[in-house]
Amino acid sequence: MNQYITLLLFSLSLTVTSCGQDSKTNREVEITTNTTLDEAALKSFSIDDYLKENQALDMLTDSIFHSLSDKQRVAQLIMPAAGKYGKPHETINGLIKDSLIGGILMLNGTVEQFTTWIKAFNQLNQSQGNLPFLYSADAEPSLVNRKIMGSTPVKKANEIDSIQEVESVTQKISADLNKIGINYNFSPVVDMSPNSTVGYRSFGKNPENIIPWSNQFIQTTQQNNIIATAKHFPGHGLVSGDTHKSLQVINGSLKEIQNYPPLIENGVLSIMVAHIAIENNEMFSTDGLPSTCSRRIVQDLLRDSLKFNGLIVTDAMNMGGVRNVPDNNTRAIAAGCDILLMPANARKAHEELMKAYQGNVIKKTIDASVRRIIRMKLCLGLI
């Protein structure tokens, strides 16, 4: 991988120097030497840079993007699961060897297992010349001790008593994730509390705590160089059922949308979209589809209206709320999601997306998602 990046840096430095020579105006490119480019590309990027304007980061992201084949680009969008409720080890190894995935969800196992697996996955992935992986987990306060057995005991979200305790719990979770090698936390839950499936997993016992406590969780997580994820957009707390089992519906107005703008403004880096349809809402009807497959929700509302520029990840694509939607993988990416989480068949999902990509059906959409993912991997220091 170091040799790969060195070649990219050399190519990029020539491009930047040339640009500097061609234009001596106030648009003159700031980076004009190999040394400063090396420093900018390899040392100065951090997770805090992701949402900021940064010319060097833009250029390196673009250079890496252009170095990838179509197959490798599409792979960045696919994140299967490994663990007790994920795919067998052999299946994950096969996907890595064939360069078909860009990350892995660690789903139900022990600290020791996950640490060992991630080291092995990394070695295999590097030997194939693939970009490093995003490793994710549902490390919510209410789930982490069950999802990652042997992790530091913490209170469930609805048992936490103060914002100081939120910070303490988040530090413990983040320390465990860093020790294991997990860099992407699908937490916090920012839903309201009435729904029995997600209610105990949020800070919504006292509704006024949801935004400040969620923000504290997000900031502390990201200060530990881990992506935080607000979920489940556009709101799971006020629906009655369970999207694991079937498609759920928001009838009328999107009452939980108000929880997201303050978190977006404060720099949350990821948002997870739920398998929830919206009806009796002229502006945001999903026409019977889950929000994950609705461009009106993902692109028009979340990206364009709420101005969210981070990573958008689907809820698990093998859940009942989306599993039976025809062409669900392609629909979710076409809607504007960047990462397909747990497609029922990752190899088939890659094949479907490749067909759409090379047929120019959703090429621009996929290219934008790939660039966002590469940028995140650079900012995490993975590349």
Contacts of 356 (CB under 8 A, 6+ apart): 330, 333, 334, 362, 366
Q: How confident is the model at residue 239 (pLDDT cuts 50, 70, 90)?
A: confident
Q: Which long-range contacts (CB under 8 A, 24 or more apart) does 45-49 make?
A: 45/378, 45/379, 45/381, 46/225, 46/379, 46/381, 47/222, 47/225, 47/227, 47/269, 47/379, 47/380, 48/222, 48/379, 49/379
Domain ranges of the chain: 2-62, 72-379
Question: What burial class does residue 326 get, using C-beta atoms within 10 Å of its C-beta: 0-12 exposed, 13-18 middle, 19+ buried?
Answer: exposed
State how far the Cα of 324 lies from the Cα of 341, in Å rounded to an integer: 16
Phi/psi zone of residue 46: left (φ > 0), alpha (ψ -120 to 50 degrees), beta?
beta
Cα 172 off chain centre by: 21
Tell me the average pLDDT across 115-144: 97
Task: Note the pTM of the prediction, 2 decimals.
Answer: 0.89
Q: How confident is the model at residue 238 (pLDDT cuts 50, 70, 90)?
A: low
pLDDT tens-digit readout, 252-299: 889 889 999 999 999 999 999 999 999 999 899 999 999 999 999 999
Statement: residue 127 has pLDDT above 90:
yes
Q: What is the mean pLDDT of the chain?
A: 88
DSSP class of residue 342? S
State how far the Cα of 377 lies from the Cα of 370, in Å rounded to an integer: 11
Q: What homologous superfamily does CATH list for 72-379?
A: Glycoside hydrolase, family 3, N-terminal domain (3.20.20.300)
Q: Is the distance from CB of 115 to CB of 137 less than 8 angstroms?
A: no
Residue 26, SS3 per DSSP: coil
